[in-house]
Structure 1
């Protein structure tokens, strides 16, 4: 049994997704150019971000920056309820102009994991329910009203960061996965080199079977899925910030052929590399 409420505006710069489900694995191609605000309203989720896996519980808030690879999968208990808001940097510009410290405190991180004190948590829960109600009922002005509620949540999170000694709640990696995360960090740094599961397994003195099985368990990705996503992430940066030809970008990030690069890039982003560069949507939206 699953309940969902979803909304994406016409410019795709603001989206809201509410889900209450007994089990769910996030779609693999979760790499986007917006900021993500994930609030776990109930249950538990296993969260993979960049090179870490953690179990997050009810009340945790995860804020993820643009182009940070992440995925959620079922944890010890599969039933959960969550709210996800994606918002493009352009939608945050006016707030940055008014109060840059407030925005920068939240957004100058690749990701943050927050657990607010009870009084703040109650307010965030109430705001979340109001956002869901607005998106579900879609009365006149609902998008603007929902955005104002999101900004109230962001302000509460920013205040919590200001008043707490740590930048982020520390959630530990499971010790059993530490060897896998050594592999992940290696892949993040050496993605441009010739790389395969057998070669990496040999480098880390583990069996290909062990690496294949536990890589998927720890990250939610297969080995090749993760490698492709890391390479596409770097290719996106080059398409956005350089005039380098697409065939050179393909080689630079580790793809052996431009055909394979184009196919994987479209699979991950939904767009062909040349269209992605020509459209320039990461900057204009």
Structure 2
């Protein structure tokens, strides 16, 4: 049975799930025999995904990368991503989400130290490239702070997270990134199709149209798309459209019906239903939040 301790902190069977009231800092640690990630996954925070044990496939923006124990992936805000099925499902991972406003201390004291975070679509650091003792020590300290929840634990965990990020950014500044390799030719093919969707999401798209364009059968495309990205075709297309709509809601003065049309939805009613399903809020929530 889950037990709630502190502010939105849940610990069960050794798992930790913490999210502060400001939605600027969250920590999730779990040992699992399967994946556990929302169907659509993009947010306004930076995500640090540190794999302590096992092997995972992660789809980020337009490609699938394979990570192993000790690898770190840092994903900027509003980049669509999802953990997909791996051949060996058993794994242990630490995920920390941190908003840019929580990085002010580090940015003020050393303005350029976190610069790689703001320049890249994602950062991938292999276990062989880092001092694993330092990284593992910081990760275990974060987990311990969240588990014990002593006075000031959130601030303590935040400072540990900043140290974690500084080590990663130092590495990126000093080393050339290792280009990710596609797990298979199928993944490379699906990546090409995903890039097309990312560029043409506002147009009328369908599984059959894409299958015809890329000279594959609809069945093959549907099966391989799900395997490579973790999303069905419709889930992915809706998530991309909602992500772009959210940007327009926050940063433009366009009315909701015009935004719905601009990102490819045929009706504002359908747009509203899908938007709430993906984000948990109605579109006007983001208009009022401006």
Interval of TM-score (by shorter of Structure 1 and Structure 2): over 0.9
Q: Structure 1: 5+ residue runs without aligned partners?
A: 281-285
Contact 1:232 1:268 in 2 (8 A): yes
Q: Confirm or deny that 1:197 pairs with 2:207.
A: yes
Tell whether the 8 Å contact from 1:44 to 1:74 is kept in structure 2 after alignment. no
Distance 2:29 2:90 in 1: 14
Distance 2:189 2:174 in 1: 35
**C-alpha distance in structure 1 between counterparts of 2:214 and 2:14, whole Å:** 43
Secondary structure in structure 1 of the residue aligned to 2:57: strand
What is the aligned counterpart of 2:166 among 155, 164, 167?
A: 155
Could you tell me the TM-score, scaled by structure 2's length? 0.92
Q: CA deviation at 1:15?
A: 0.3
RMSD between aligned alpha carbons?
1.5
Q: Select 2:270's aligned residue among 254, 260, 271.
A: 260
The Cα shift of 1:230 comes to 0.6
Q: CA deviation at 1:183?
A: 1.1
Distance, in Å, in 2 between the alignment partners of 1:269 and 1:88 is 17
Give the distance between the partners of 1:105 and 1:46, measured in 2 at CA.
Answer: 23
| 2:136 counterpart (104, 119, 125) | 125
Deviation at 1:202, TM superposition (A): 1.2
Q: CA deviation at 1:215?
A: 0.3
CA contact 2:63–2:187 (8 Å) conserved in 1: no
After superposition, the Cα gap between the structure-2 partners of 1:195 and 1:178, relative to the gap in structure 1 and judged at 3 Å, is same
Instruction: Give TM-score, length-normalised by structure 1.
Output: 0.94
- CA apart distance, 1:107: 2.8
In structure 2, the residue matched to 1:283 is none
After the TM superposition, which residues 107-126 of structure 1 pair with which residues of structure 2 at under 5 Å, given as runs? Answer: 107-117=118-128, 120-126=131-137
- Aligned runs of 1:60-209 on 2, under 5 Å? 60-117=71-128, 120-164=131-175, 166=176, 168-173=177-182, 174-209=184-219
Query: CA 1:202/1:240 → structure 2, altered by over 3 Å: closer, same or farther?
Result: same
CA deviations on 1:149-192 (whole Å, 9 max, x unpaired) are 1111111112211221x1x3322112222221221111000000
Tell me how many residue pairs correspond in the alignment.
278
